[in-house]
Every structure is written in C-alpha cells, then in structure tokens.
Structure 1
Amino acid sequence: MTPANPSTTALLAVDDLAIHVGGRALLQGISFRLHAGEALSLVGESGAGKSLLAQAIMGNLPPALRASGAITIDGVTTRAEDAASRRALWGRKLALLPQEPSVALNSFQRVAPQLAEVYALLHGQPPGDAAERAQQELARAGLGQATAHYPWQLSGGMAQRAVAAITLAGGAPVLMVDEPTKGLDNHWRDRTVALFRGVLQAGGCLLAITHDMAVAQALGGQVIVLRHGQAVEQGRIDEVAAQPAHPFTRQLMDADPARWLPFAAPTLGEPVVQAHGISKAYGAQKLFAPLDLELRSGERVAVQGPSGTGKSTLGNVLLGLVAPDTGRVERSARLRPHAFQKLYQDPVGSFAPHISLAQSLRDAARLHRCDWKLVQQRLAQLRVPEDMLARKPEQISGGELQRIALARVLVAQPALLFADEPTSRLDPITQQDALKVLLDAVQETGAALMLVTHDTHIAAAIGTRTIDFAEGGIQAPVA
C-alpha cells in the first residue's frame, strides 16, 4: 500500500483501470476521482463493464478476470490486482449495494437480524440495541411489517430496499450502488436517491451505476458514459444531459421511454384466461380484493403500482403457480399447460447456476420442439453473441442475462406471457430493442401479454389497458 499525495487526496480515485479475460479487454482506460460530497454516475450499454468496475474496486472480481491500474481509497493506493488489500475495508470504509438483492441476502435468515448484524459487528452495539435499530431502519424503508420475513418472501422492490438499508448501515464513506432503483416505484426511487444524497452531505462519496438518466441527474456531479468497455464521454451530468457530445450518448438520451411513441394497437382474439372473484392475502396483508379479469389473445395489459402490493402475485395466480384465496381461474382448455409462461424479475434466480447458458437454452428448445436456428435468430435480434452462451449465469451481467431469459421464454411460444419487469436491467437503447422483439413475438403468435413495469412511459407506450395497484389493493378498476 502506498499513501497518496495529501494535497490531491480523494476518498476514491481510480487510475487507468483495465479488466481482461484471457487476451480480451472487457474494460480499459478508466480514470476518475471522487472527493467528499461528490457523486459519479456510470451509464452506458448493458454489458459494457459497469458492474465489473465496481467489483474490481471492491477486490471481488471472478477468478478468471484480471485487473490492472491503481485504486486509492481514503488516501491509500493499491494495485488493482491486489484484491486482498481492500477487503479489510469492506463495510467500514468501502461498501457496495449489488445489482441482485436476491444474491446479496442470506436466504436462510430473516431480514431484521441481517441488518442487526451490521450494527453489532461494525458499530459494536449490544444485541438488544442492534435489533431495535434494525427494526427502526426497516420501518423507515417501508418494511416495518416485513422485518420477520425471509428474503424469498419479499417482492423485488422490497428486497432492494432491504439491501439498501443493510449497505448504508455500515456508514462507509465510499459507497458504490449498482442499479439501486431498478425495482422501485417513483416514490421509493426518490426516497432512495435522498438517502444517497444524505451520504454525500455527511462527507461521503458515491459511485452510482444506473440506466436511469433521471436518477443520475438527481444525484448530480459527474457522469461517465461507457460503451464496449471504454469511456466515450465524461463530464458534469447536467452538461452532458443537456448537450451530449458523443453519438452514443445522444442515442441513450433519445431512447428514453418518455420519448417513445405508442406501439401499434393489437388485434384481440378469444379469451386466454378468465378470473372470477379472485383474491389473495399473506397473513394480515391483503394484496387484492375479489377481482374479475379477462385476458384475450393479442391483448397487452400493463400492471403498475408500488412494490409489495401484489403485482407479481396476481401473475402467479393467473398462471396457476399460486392458488387464490377466493374465486377461480379458468384457462383456455385448448391450450397446452406450458403455454402459460412467466418472465421473472430476477433473471439470476430463473437459471440453473451450475450449467451453461447454452445448455439451458438447448434444454428449453428440445422441450418445446423449437429449431435451434430460431433460437439463434432470436439471440441475434437481442444482440446476444452466441459465444456468450458458453458461460454460466453468474459470469455475465444482469442486463445480458435478462435478454437471454427473454429469448428462452419465447422458445415456448406462450399464449399468455407474464413479464415481470423484463427490461429493468437494460440501458434505454437495448430496452427499446428488447421490448420490440417481445412485442413482435407476441404479435406473431397472438399471445396475451401482462407487463409489470414501474415506468409509466413504458406502460403508456405498450399497454392497451392498465391494472393499477396501490397500498391495500387495486387503486382503480381495470381499465
């Protein structure tokens, strides 16, 4: 370790960081400095190396990857490849809010004790005080009724908030957050941004990886635009957003869902599924009251509302994955059972971890008697290189895995596809392309689509009608 020059000391400095696998560069030539109170947002295409950059700073890259360059944390400089030298800083000086909350949380431990451990181990609080503080902070995060839940009992947005509370509890002055608002509605997105701004006001610094330019602008500070592992533009976020210099940055801005035109209206066919008086509750939490719903072939329904209000549960009930408490669901008798498919919010959890992505796709193609050439065409449409399929799910980015999950579910040619935040990990350009592939596919087959999204602009562009959830049930009738 080498002390940095005190006159130029930054809380976090990265100099000429590069990441290679074999002889191929995944990220190269990245340099920046963050002082107390400063924020930097990394934006760019999915798979450009944004998450790898954060993992390299943490010293937590997969074994096959090699980092080079220099990293300075609070005045102490280490070689990027010297991962062990930075691990002693985890939690106390350096913290990362990871992209996948399901991976970060301990599935076998309730949420509150996981947070209490931070107060006990990092701050030395007695067990009783640590438990009480954990209850208070989870209540502030809107999780007061979920403190005794296991992670698998939380919605994606609730898990995101739980992991944010745990990450922030350490009080590390160098905070990195990877897609921290992807599963959150506007209210909790704004609350989360306010928490990060609180870190800056307290004298910390923030490195934020996000596909949401509105989040980057709300955080302020600097921005780096990444493409193909290189920084194509770097500067103040307000200046770059107002007048982007690089063509790719302009593409990102133009692909914002707020600028999308509505997709063509579909032709509706016969009913695919009908629900009569269905309701569902978990314990004292009532998700939705008796509800009647009909979905016809070709129809596109947008499902919106705060996290944890029952959006995913409604889809699970319609698909037959969860039984309703009351009422019944009728699915078209002419359709085969696997014509009802779900595209999961958490792509990591929907793939077998120990087999290659190629094997997962080939198994699906064989099961549904789909020609492999059609799978290859779909992957090409989604801009997924076929050589990527040799990897396992944990070896690619969340956005890349999300696209492969979309290709896999379309192999089944579903008659009803429940897509739960299917593009939340994608940059705006890739998101627009992926949703076009999805809509073209359902139009070809006449499938009904239920799309869960927190983005009102996406809902307006895609949905032919909307189901709007709120705390305590559906806010308005299905329209």
Structure 2
Amino acid sequence: MNIQMMNDIAVHDLSIHAKDGPIVMDVSLALGKGRPLTLLGESGSGKSLVAQAIMGNLPAGVHATGGVIFKGVDLLAEAAGERRKRWGRSIGLLPQEPWLALDPTMRVGPQVAEVHRYVKDKTASDSVVAAKQNLAEVSLSAAEALYPFQISGGMGQRAAIAMAHAAGTELLIADEPTKGLDAALRDSVTARLSREVEAGRLLLTITHDVAVARALGGTIGVMLDGRLVEYGPAEALLAEPQHAYTKTLLAAEPSQWGRKTRATPGTTVVTAQGLEKRYGDRVLFSGFDIEVAAGEIVSIVGPSGCGKTTIGNILLGLTKPDAGEVVREGELSPLRFQKLYQDPPAAFAPHQTIRKGLKDLARLHGKDWSGIEASCRRLRLQDVLLDRLPGQVSGGELQRFALLRALLLDPAFLFADEATSRLDPVSQQDVVTFLLELVEETGLAVLLVTHDRDLAEKVSTRLIELEGADGRAA
C-alpha cells in the first residue's frame, strides 16, 4: 500500500507480538490534518491494538515492531517514560470502556475540570466554567454532580468524550467512541469528532459502526485477523468495496437483515405493573407495565438515560422501584434470572484468566466444561483467548464471553443490556443468531435493551419505545 510519509503520522510495517505469536502483522497506514483515519473490522481483528501501539499502552506481555512516526519521531523507539509524557498533552486516548476513563470516587464535573486545571494549567474557576461547557456539548449538564455509578453506560461514554475534548491533544485516538449511544447522540458525537478535525487535530477512530466511518469520511482501513485487508478513501471503499470481508461487513448491518418469524410465546416468566422510578426530583418513568414470556424477545428502545437499563434491573430485583409491583415465576431459582451487562468488565475479575473464571463457575454449579467449549465455538471464540485476562481481549470478544457466562447457568430470563453494542456487524449478526436459536431451543425469555431500532425491529416479538422526557412508553 502506498503510504504518504509526509503525513503527520505514518505507521509502517507495524506488527504486534504476544507470547504465543504475532497478533497484528505488517500494518502500514497514515493520517494527516483534515484527513481522519477510521479502522473498521470485527472484534479481535487488531484495530484497538494498532491504536494502543501508537499510544504506547499495549497490554503486558505484548510488544510492537516496525515504526510509528509522529512529527518526525519514531514513537516505538522512545523510552516508556518519554512516551508517557505525551499522554494527555500531545496524544489523547478515548478508551473503549468508559470505566477505564472515569474515576469512580469523583463526580463527573470535577473530573472534567481536573483536565483543564492540571493539563491545561487554567485557574480553578476557569476550569469549572470550561468543564460545564464540555459537558453541555455532549448533553450531560444534568450529570455534572453525579458519580460514574449513577449514570448509564451511554452517559459514561459521553463523559469520557468530554474529558478527551478538554485535553485538546494534537492527536486524538477514539476507540469505539459511539458504542452504547442512540442514533441522535451517535450523530452528535460524530459531529463533535468532525469539528476536532476541522480545528486541525489528528483523528484516528476505531469503530465497528459503518455509519460513523461514513460520516467521518477521510480514509478507511479494514482489518481482519490482524491484517489490513483494504485501505483507501472512505467514499470509494464504502461505495465499491473490493475485499470479500468488507462486502460481508457492509451487508451485515441490521438494516439489511430479514425479519425473523416468531413462535407463539409461552407462559409468563416475569411481569410488572405501574412501575415508577425517581432520582431526586426527576421522574425517570412512571406507570410503566411490562410482561415477558418464555420463548420471546421483548425489546425496549429509547434515548440514553431514559430508564431502559433501570427497568431491566427492577425486573431482576437489582433495583427497587418507587412504585409498582414485579411478579416473577415462583418456582424458578433466582439464579435463572441473569443479566448480560452493558459494560462486560463488570462480569469478570480483572486479575483472573477467563478460563479460570468460567471453570470456577462451572465447578460451582456442576456444569460440563465440554458444553462451554461448544458454546465458544458457536460464538467464534478461539481457545487461546481463554488463557488471557479480561483486559487482554477486545471489548467484543469480552462481550461474547459475558454472554457465554450468563448462559452457563441455564437462565429462564435474560436481561440483555446493550448486548451487541460492542460488536461489529458480522459478530453482532452471529451473536444475535445464536441468541435466537437459544430462544427457540430452550424457551428462554429475553428482555433486550438497545439503541439500535433496526436490530430491535428485526428480532423482537414486541417492541416498547420509551420517550426521553419521563420514560413513558410511546
């Protein structure tokens, strides 16, 4: 591939190696001012590893070879201490998981203000004013005084974006910046990133959302199995993809799916009437009724922060409603009511390999390991991934492991909270197909919370739309 070396960043022959062999091979690409670069590809293809190599924060036991030239300096040749001095000053990272960007002990507003105070050397009062503006730009003014655990995953993602903007680095690496966001907020964040480009910042975006890549324009690289298989101007690549995988990727968007026919639902597994939830003076939703039966998928769609996740948590008994009643099938063990979390790290111990965590769970509940291996194959999870820590696999791979973990306990009811928001279109289609097969085979009842209306319309028995103002069903 012809990489223009006069660009502000040029990556040449980048390979990334783990102890069991190379995981990214011979990647060459470039980006410059006014010409953002977006990497597309399935989970585990190496997109985020390329970004981490540029940033200089590869996981332990992983190293990079080749060259990353930034303003005439080979970053790979720099000492670790010198590279870290660039973090937050000349190179900024918007990480894939907002949990990794936010301090759980600090309120959102002060966290953004801290960037202005200590990175940009502003006065305390000016930092507060600037932080308020950053939060307003991502529609988060109401969250200024909240802690990260008090906001939704989508709101956490926007808070991380506000912090990244506050740093004002020359290069911004955005790793899945719109995952978990509804279409309106996705478009707003994409427009925010485009303004960063217009202001002269370098932008490298990692995403599985084709709509984001299309909106950002510039150059697109498509990765598969650690290799860059297609690379070129966004307009041409999206209009006439050359590689077979790129064609498959574009065809796998939910808007292109056919609608599945659904069997008649069975007995009711969980029902709720007159639910209401308040946070202070704000009524999140009121008078809300819902019923989920065996063998059906009920989807709730609506803007970020309207209460979708809270409803699922109430049905599971994780959150108490301020009014209303929940009735679960009385003969079912509480263990058969499971949750697939929006943030997959919440389901795993960070310092324990995935294999050990799953084996401990299987042993505790008397489950056969061969069944877990079969599920791994159905979810396209390679055996080698089991021996890695949760932080050493991609977000999409970890989400598939989280699904496997939730299904290990043979649930009768599964609350899938943005279950596919971290997956590329191909992996998303695979996982949804797997989930649909389980619903048909076992009579699993599923409550699916999603921002993707196309997905919800294609797979749901029933669809409930929440409005943003008070959480009432539309």
1:338 maps onto 2:314 in alignment: no
Per the alignment, residue 185 of structure 2 pairs with 188
Matches of 2:176 and 2:24, distance apart in 1:
19
In the alignment, structure 1 segments of 5+ residues that lack a partner are 1-6
Question: How far is 1:169 from its partner?
Answer: 0.8
- Of 82, 95, 110 in structure 2, the residue corresponding to residue 113 of structure 1 is 110
1:411 maps onto 2:394 in alignment: no
Matches of 1:262 and 1:306, distance apart in 2:
23
Matches of 2:467 and 2:71, distance apart in 1:
44
Matches of 2:267 and 2:26, distance apart in 1:
56
Which amino acid in structure 2 is aligned with residue 317 of structure 1? I
Per the alignment, residue 132 of structure 1 pairs with 129
- Is the 8 Å Cα contact of residues 148 and 156 (structure 2) preserved in structure 1? yes
- Is the 8 Å Cα contact of residues 379 and 385 (structure 1) preserved in structure 2? yes
Task: Within 5 Å, give how 1:238-257 maps onto structure 2.
Answer: 238-257=235-254
Which amino acid in structure 2 is aligned with residue 379 of structure 1? C
Question: How far is 1:117 from its partner?
Answer: 1.1
* Greater Cα offset, 363-372 or 331-340: 363-372
1:70 maps onto 2:60 in alignment: no
Matches of 1:74 and 1:112, distance apart in 2:
33
Matches of 2:63 and 2:136, distance apart in 1:
41
- Is the 8 Å Cα contact of residues 92 and 172 (structure 1) preserved in structure 2? yes
- Is the 8 Å Cα contact of residues 38 and 204 (structure 1) preserved in structure 2? no
Per the alignment, residue 451 of structure 2 pairs with 454
Which amino acid in structure 2 is aligned with residue 24 of structure 1? G
Which amino acid in structure 2 is aligned with residue 193 of structure 1? T
Per the alignment, residue 3 of structure 1 pairs with none
Question: How far is 1:177 from its partner?
Answer: 0.4
Matches of 1:143 and 1:309, distance apart in 2:
13
Question: How far is 1:292 from its partner?
Answer: 2.0
Sort the Cα spacing of 1:387 and 1:35 in 2 relative to 1 into closer, same or farther, 3 A: closer
Task: Within 5 Å, give how 1:65-104 maps onto structure 2.
Answer: 65-79=62-76, 82-104=79-101
Matches of 1:474 and 1:8, distance apart in 2:
52
Per the alignment, residue 37 of structure 1 pairs with 34
Question: How far is 1:124 from its partner?
Answer: 1.4
TM-score by length of 2: 0.96
- Is the 8 Å Cα contact of residues 287 and 472 (structure 2) preserved in structure 1? no
- Is the 8 Å Cα contact of residues 117 and 130 (structure 1) preserved in structure 2? yes
Sort the Cα spacing of 1:80 and 1:301 in 2 relative to 1 into closer, same or farther, 3 A: farther
Question: How far is 1:475 from its partner?
Answer: 4.7
Per the alignment, residue 196 of structure 2 pairs with 199
Per the alignment, residue 374 of structure 2 pairs with 377
Question: How far is 1:8 from its partner?
Answer: 5.3
Which amino acid in structure 2 is aligned with residue 327 of structure 1? G
Sort the Cα spacing of 1:380 and 1:462 in 2 relative to 1 into closer, same or farther, 3 A: same
* Greater Cα offset, 289-298 or 235-244: 289-298
CA RMSD after TM alignment? 1.5
- Of 262, 266, 279 in structure 2, the residue corresponding to residue 265 of structure 1 is 262
Q: How many residues align?
A: 471
1:435 maps onto 2:432 in alignment: yes
- Is the 8 Å Cα contact of residues 110 and 128 (structure 2) preserved in structure 1? yes
Matches of 1:368 and 1:263, distance apart in 2:
34
- Of 421, 436, 445 in structure 1, the residue corresponding to residue 442 of structure 2 is 445
Per the alignment, residue 295 of structure 1 pairs with 292
Per the alignment, residue 353 of structure 1 pairs with 350
Task: Within 5 Å, give how 1:137-148 maps onto structure 2.
Answer: 137-148=134-145
Per the alignment, residue 4 of structure 1 pairs with none
Question: How far is 1:82 from its partner?
Answer: 4.4
1:178 maps onto 2:175 in alignment: yes
Per the alignment, residue 28 of structure 1 pairs with 25
Question: How far is 1:458 from its partner?
Answer: 0.5
- Is the 8 Å Cα contact of residues 271 and 294 (structure 1) preserved in structure 2? yes
- Is the 8 Å Cα contact of residues 270 and 296 (structure 1) preserved in structure 2? yes
Identity %: 47
Matches of 2:278 and 2:396, distance apart in 1:
32
Question: How far is 1:267 from its partner?
Answer: 2.4
- Is the 8 Å Cα contact of residues 300 and 449 (structure 1) preserved in structure 2? yes
- Is the 8 Å Cα contact of residues 288 and 473 (structure 2) preserved in structure 1? no
Matches of 1:71 and 1:154, distance apart in 2:
37
Sort the Cα spacing of 1:203 and 1:413 in 2 relative to 1 into closer, same or farther, 3 A: same
Per the alignment, residue 462 of structure 2 pairs with 465
Matches of 1:407 and 1:344, distance apart in 2:
12
